[in-house]
Structure 1
Amino acid sequence: MKHPPFENTVTHLFKQAEEQGSSAAVAYKQDGAWHDISWEQYASDVHTAAAGLVKLGLGKGDTVCILGFNCYEWVVMDLAAIMIGAIPAGIYTTSSPEEVAYILNHSEARVLLLESTEQWNKIIAQQANLEHLKDVVSMIRCEDIADEMAMDWATFMGIGSDNDKAAVEKLYAASAEHEAATFIYTSGTTGPPKAVMLSNKNLVWTASQAADMIKLDATDSSLSYLPLSHIAEQMFTIHAPIIVGWKVYFATGILDVLENLKEVKPTVLFGVPRIWEKFYTGLKEKLGEASGLKEKIVNFSLKAGSENSADIFSGGDGGGWKYRLANKLLFGKVKDALGLSNLRVGVTGAAPINAEILKLFASLDIPILEVYGQSEGSGPTSFNRPRNNKPGSVGPAYPGTEVKIADDGEIMLKGPNVFLGYYKDQEGTDACLEDGWLYSGDVGKFDEDGFLYVTGRKKEILVTSGGKNIAPIPIEEDLKQIPAVAQAVMVGDNRNFCTALLTLDVGYLLKDKMGVDITDISPLELVNVLESKGKTVQGFAESAEILSEIQAGVDKVNSKYAQVENIRKFAVLPRDFTMADDEVTPTFKIKRSKIYAKWADTIDSLYTG
């Protein structure tokens, strides 16, 4: 088969098939056991799926949408589209029927791969409004869909002829590095999602740089569980593993992540802050329970771990007798409990994370590197390195890029990872892309060592009625460290003082206030368990004990900041912020404007009461 002049991700897949052959490329769990798929099979299935797309009439520039949780069919369809010069576009499984229809229509997708009848029902609800969709392919685990436009995966994989495969090879050989290779639909914190156009060059260059920077190789492995509609998960599930040749395990579900981690023990793990925060809360709780000799062991080990990590983060080799002893006494046990015993590289990104979380993990010999960026930069703008890491910063500029701060504090990026523009939105493209520089919309600063610190979004900077500019994110992150608090949103724009909306951590309420062991309770069931015991979140939100406890925490946070940045009043809400209520994105970013609008009466009461 003739390859294109520029080696795109599909080219690297075929190379891995030649070099690694029957070695495992990916694995999925079925009937209680993990099953491998080889590099040869992976490449062959992509070629077959590409022929299926050609049979359905797709070619260069056409769009294929994918709606489902991470799985083998997801990545095969994605790569099959890239192979023929078509453009894959993921849709978040949490999207409403209206949001699904918007993306299908905006992208002009003619083919949709979907996961379940639950997702199919969204198509049924909007079928009269779908202008371009012709064919629906269901994933292997999907129930039968009785509709003339639908076919199952096996049928789809069998429709391509030899002539179609030959057509695939011609389209593949003609693919170019600067053509759009994927659409990443932004999660839309401020309005309808935009389609970020990323090229073959964007994807391959960015993934290759990451592999070189973190020293990843074919002996590594990762767990795929965050939405593949997000560029970061695509990098860690599709592009980097294929370029490097490491094995990817597909999680069985977002609620099975801890169980899956213990089973597969990956060496590489990407997590959004909310994932690391959940681990952190449990760890802090367990470590805090130690007393007597165990407490002394914990304190010794954490100190040894902090010293070891600090040495490695500044370029040293770490080690020493204290570290070796601490590893035997504590670190190994903690890592085993989390499924991180083989972890070499942990990465956090997509939203801010409190530095205290990173420091605790570092003290437990679990290094987590914070990355900062956006879809428009193919993911990374800056990235902490394994041996050049400052927890609390988002690292030096990504290798091979230029990053600078504009006069107004905005972070700017130039490099081979900068996107082509927004699909069908020249005005939006022109607003953030000028002379090759991507204007991020974020505000930040560099320290004397070249480490970047992000202080907030330009549009989210609160300007008080007295004219003081306040970056809410660092304060919100500190408020979230109050044990009873799950989420925090600061208010103060055009106001004469600052307030906050806080939600309660139901796990904390059950364990610390009701004595319930929550170890085996699903996060989705916590509220139900609480209510089954005659309590409500609203009841705790109105509890004098809880309010007093939170006030003490708020006072402690206030002591760190200037008086004008202090939280003078707060409201504890009767429920957490959710995707279902359109208050957070699928990667758990706060939709500030939506929250302000939804809780407007509560906010007003803080200023009138």
Structure 2
Amino acid sequence: MAEGTTLQNSANETFGKLLARNAANHGSDIVVREKERGIWRESTWADYVDEVLACAAGLEVVGVAPGKAVLILGDNRARLYQGMLAISLLGAYAMPAYPGATLEELQHFLGEVEIVAAFAEDQEQVDKILELRSASASGIAHVIYDETRGLGTYEDDGLMSWDHLIEIGQRELDGDAGRREAILNRAKPEDPAIFMHSSGTTGKPKGIVLSQKNVLAAARNGHAAGAFDENEEILAYLPMAWVGDFAITVGAALLWRFTVNVPERQETVVRDMREIAPTFYLAAPRSWDQMLTTIQVGMENSTPFKKWLYHFFMDRAVAAETRKLNGKSGGALEPLGRFLGEALVFGPIKDQFGMSRLKNAFTGGEAIGEDTFVFYRALGIKLRQLYGQTENSAINAIQAPGEVRLHTVGKPAPGVELKIADDGEILMRSDSVFEGYFNKPEATAEALEDGWLHTGDAGYIEDDGHLVVLGRVSEVMHTAGGERYVPNYIENRLKFSPYIKDAAVLGAGLDELTAMVCVDFEAVGHWAEVNGVPYVSYADLSQRDEVAKLLHEAFLRVNKALTEPLRLQRFVSLPKEFDPDDGEITRTRKLRRKVVQERYADVVAALYDGSKEVHVSAQVTYETGEVGKVEKSLPIREV
């Protein structure tokens, strides 16, 4: 029987047991590659596990123990992943935060659990942790950093390099022959894997502790559903504080022995991805949109012959894929045409963006636009949708390769049960579901009932078992006329336009629906340059009449899919993007609706009182942390 088949039925696995198995049976295989100064540096399972154990022993010396937490702050680094595994071996809480998290956001974490240490990527994150420690007199006694540059003159108490921590831990291991095995076997399946947080769209983020059993169950379910295979090559570029990254880069990678490739920095992800050519790739719709925009911009700037060649093959492939999605047979590209298209157009594009070996490609987090989805399918990337949340370890419903539809997220993965409550809420049950919100019994009682997780999402299951997600139950709203609608559903369809980055739909308790939108500066800026539209800033570009026409077309397209009482009547283009630093969206770019409506109360009023324009003074938080204002008069535009 294959090893993977045995693992399918194993519910007693822990991170420690899997590390020991991989080191013993696959010690010479590559587990991680990390790019440093232009060179990919490789680590085998044997070396990787040795360093994780030394890290765990070192952390134990500095006071990390069950019930205590370690803050993780930085972009993706191999050592930070090793640190999270080491923390889990000790039964403590690994608590990753988004690199851009503000001091206020981090202070909220301090109030939840005792944080005795922190891992920091570099000097910038060390400075943030030291400021946090100073501002709150917290118990972060030790700060361990990866990148040493700029920290040579620091003399703060408890500050140490990763290498120094490993030295401490290695001495501990060398002095006790049984220590290695003891650490590997200490944690139980019910012990913590990761301490994450809800998105916090309606208030302070709630603590979510996923056990090792939860995370590994999700990894088994995902494999059984065909989401990934053994020995995948993946790129670790998603935020480490997002559950999707941990579920794939740590949980699934450990269980199914992936090779994890860590890019040099966020700015080099595209180039590094081309060098690696991963076999598995998960991205939010916004990332797929941005890549598509880059491809289209590149083709528009190409030679006439290349543009003709591109459109000759791509237009036919898109038409064929659209027919498939609509349940119609027949294609415009015969086998020979597909072969030529792959050689001349599709293959070179995939190679340029690191997608030449991609077998399992996914989008998740929110709905994806039809044009984007169809484009990648036409290109030969079998893009699929999946559905998950932090509370259920990210992997729940997945589209099978041959059952792809734009409006569904696929069938429940094996090991996951789904049902729909009387009010339309999606309920689920699985070993991947968490035990409850950290120290919040009332919130836990609302979320978990008789073993079923109340996901908070509205949806329905089609006759053939496919799940359709409509939006948050809490956001199901009604107009003054009693028409039911989900604003997030409409907002996502507005964002299908490459020119709209964010949107807020208004109309609860009112006669009509209207919207505030934020243009996509990169896409609209390029369009303006190509079409000779001058502008000097985001605020200036967002108010141009030429740009308003682009937005108007997007509104008309969305209105065609809505019933007459729910069609959008007016809109305003805001002079700045929604920004997590300003509290308008979460770090995962989910709208904080109450904040936005309060901050733009004058705009909301103007959309309904017959005004032709409205003056706005919008808050802007700069990279330095300073807060400024954008002053602008905004036209109220009719759809």
TM-score (norm 2): 0.86
| Residues 52 and 164 in structure 1, CA contact (< 8 A), matched pair in contact too | no
Q: 1:329 to 1:170 in 2, by over 3 A?
A: same
| Residues 67 and 112 in structure 1, CA contact (< 8 A), matched pair in contact too | yes
| Residues 498 and 566 in structure 1, CA contact (< 8 A), matched pair in contact too | yes
- Deviation of 1:548 after TM superposition, in Å, equals 3.2
Distance in 2 (alpha carbons) for counterparts of 1:483 and 1:369: 20
Q: Does 1:132 align with 2:139?
A: yes
Partner of 2:16: 10
Partner of 1:273: 285
- Deviation of 1:422 after TM superposition, in Å, equals 1.1
| Residues 62 and 109 in structure 1, CA contact (< 8 A), matched pair in contact too | yes
SS at match of 1:380: coil
Q: 1:326 to 1:64 in 2, by over 3 A?
A: same
- 2:360 pairs, out of 345, 358, 361, with 345
Q: Does 1:195 align with 2:169?
A: no
| Residues 189 and 591 in structure 1, CA contact (< 8 A), matched pair in contact too | yes
Distance in 1 (alpha carbons) for counterparts of 2:203 and 2:410: 30
Deviations 1:55-84 (A, max 9, x none): 112223322221111111111111111112
SS at match of 1:178: coil
Structure 1 segment 64-143 matched on structure 2, within 5 A: 64-126=70-132, 127-141=134-148, 143=150
Aligned partner of 1:535: which letter?
V
Partner of 1:300: 316
Q: 1:11 to 1:569 in 2, by over 3 A?
A: same
Q: 1:304 to 1:562 in 2, by over 3 A?
A: closer
Distance in 1 (alpha carbons) for counterparts of 2:11 and 2:541: 63
SS at match of 1:590: coil
Partner of 1:364: 379
Partner of 1:424: 439
Distance in 2 (alpha carbons) for counterparts of 1:483 and 1:355: 12
Query: Paired residues, what number?
Result: 588
Deviations 1:545-582 (A, max 9, x none): 22233223312321221112111110001111122222
- Deviation of 1:288 after TM superposition, in Å, equals 7.3
Q: Does 1:59 align with 2:65?
A: yes
Partner of 1:588: 589
Aligned partner of 2:198: which letter?
T
Aligned partner of 1:223: which letter?
L
Aligned partner of 1:92: which letter?
Y
Partner of 1:183: 195
Partner of 2:565: 564
- Deviation of 1:142 after TM superposition, in Å, equals 5.3
| Residues 70 and 227 in structure 1, CA contact (< 8 A), matched pair in contact too | yes
SS at match of 2:112: helix
| Residues 94 and 195 in structure 2, CA contact (< 8 A), matched pair in contact too | yes
SS at match of 1:133: coil
Partner of 1:554: 555
Q: 1:239 to 1:384 in 2, by over 3 A?
A: same
SS at match of 2:585: coil
Q: Does 1:414 align with 2:421?
A: no
Q: 1:149 to 1:18 in 2, by over 3 A?
A: same
Partner of 2:344: 329
Distance in 2 (alpha carbons) for counterparts of 1:378 and 1:260: 28
Aligned partner of 2:218: which letter?
T
Q: Does 1:471 align with 2:486?
A: yes
| Residues 221 and 246 in structure 1, CA contact (< 8 A), matched pair in contact too | yes
| Residues 100 and 122 in structure 1, CA contact (< 8 A), matched pair in contact too | no
Partner of 1:523: none
SS at match of 1:69: coil
| Residues 51 and 164 in structure 1, CA contact (< 8 A), matched pair in contact too | no
Moved more, 216-225 or 598-607: 216-225
Aligned partner of 1:105: which letter?
G
- 2:226 pairs, out of 214, 231, 247, with 214
Partner of 1:481: 496
Aligned partner of 2:33: which letter?
A
Q: Does 1:513 align with 2:519?
A: no
Partner of 2:28: 22
Q: Does 1:384 align with 2:399?
A: yes
Structure 1 segment 590-609 matched on structure 2, within 5 A: 590-608=591-609, 609=611
Deviations 1:512-547 (A, max 9, x none): 222399xxxxxxxxxxxx9xx862222233322222
Q: 1:121 to 1:587 in 2, by over 3 A?
A: same
Distance in 2 (alpha carbons) for counterparts of 1:449 and 1:371: 17
Partner of 2:161: 152
Partner of 1:448: 463
Q: Does 1:223 align with 2:235?
A: yes
Moved more, 462-471 or 546-555: 546-555
SS at match of 2:213: helix
| Residues 485 and 502 in structure 1, CA contact (< 8 A), matched pair in contact too | yes
Question: Once superposed, what is the RMSD of the aligned Cα atoms?
Answer: 2.6
- Deviation of 1:591 after TM superposition, in Å, equals 2.3
Q: 1:462 to 1:130 in 2, by over 3 A?
A: farther
Q: Percent identity?
A: 28
- Deviation of 1:428 after TM superposition, in Å, equals 1.0
SS at match of 1:421: coil
| Residues 426 and 458 in structure 2, CA contact (< 8 A), matched pair in contact too | yes
Distance in 2 (alpha carbons) for counterparts of 1:63 and 1:512: 48
Note the residue ranges of structure 1 that are not aligned, 5 or more in a row.
Answer: 518-529
Q: 1:447 to 1:122 in 2, by over 3 A?
A: same
- Deviation of 1:362 after TM superposition, in Å, equals 0.8
- Deviation of 1:5 after TM superposition, in Å, equals 9.6
Aligned partner of 2:161: which letter?
D
Q: 1:216 to 1:505 in 2, by over 3 A?
A: closer
